[in-house]
Amino acid sequence: MLVRDDLRYSEEHIWVRREGDHTVSIGITDHAQITLGELNYVELPNEGDIIVICESFGSVECENLVSDLYAPLCGLVVAVNREVIENPALINHSPYERGWIIRATLHHIEELDILMTADDYEEYVIGESV
């Protein structure tokens, strides 16, 4: 399981990377993609949609399972990764780079502080498996 120090993490296995003043990239963690297995379908919001913390903003599907994606923060979707819609396996092969899901402008950048650090996330995942 790869956990990157430059990201923040949610309990729903979503990562967040700060890209600019109020802009972030959001994706699925390496742990989540390993757990789900090979993804074959991704449903994402549209540019201009609002995401709300703890509410579903999309879903991913693998062999016989559909899993909702829950927003780690509140914001406005400014970009959607069309590549992962066409080729969902990009998330499996590059969850932190080419497999990003959306970019959003946050309403409150300080919300990043409520998310877990890499160390916190690693402990959380270990605790889940016990």
Containing 49, the helix (H) or strand (E) segment is: none
Q: What is the mean pLDDT of residues 13-33?
A: 95
Q: Hey, what amino acid is at 117?
A: T
Distance CA 36, CA 30 (A): 10
Q: What is the pLDDT of residue 47?
A: 97
The answer to the question of residue 129 being in a domain is no
The answer to the question of residue 1 being in a domain is no
pLDDT digits (tens, 9 = 90+) for 51-108: 999 999 999 999 878 999 999 999 999 999 999 999 999 999 999 999 999 999 998 9
Please give the residue range of the domain that contains residue 96: 8-124
**What is the total count of domains within the chain?**
1
The answer to the question of residue 46 being in a domain is yes
The answer to the question of residue 59 being in a domain is yes
Q: What is the pLDDT of residue 63?
A: 82
The answer to the question of residue 3 being in a domain is no
The answer to the question of residue 85 being in a domain is yes
The answer to the question of residue 2 being in a domain is no
CATH number at residue 116: 2.40.50.100
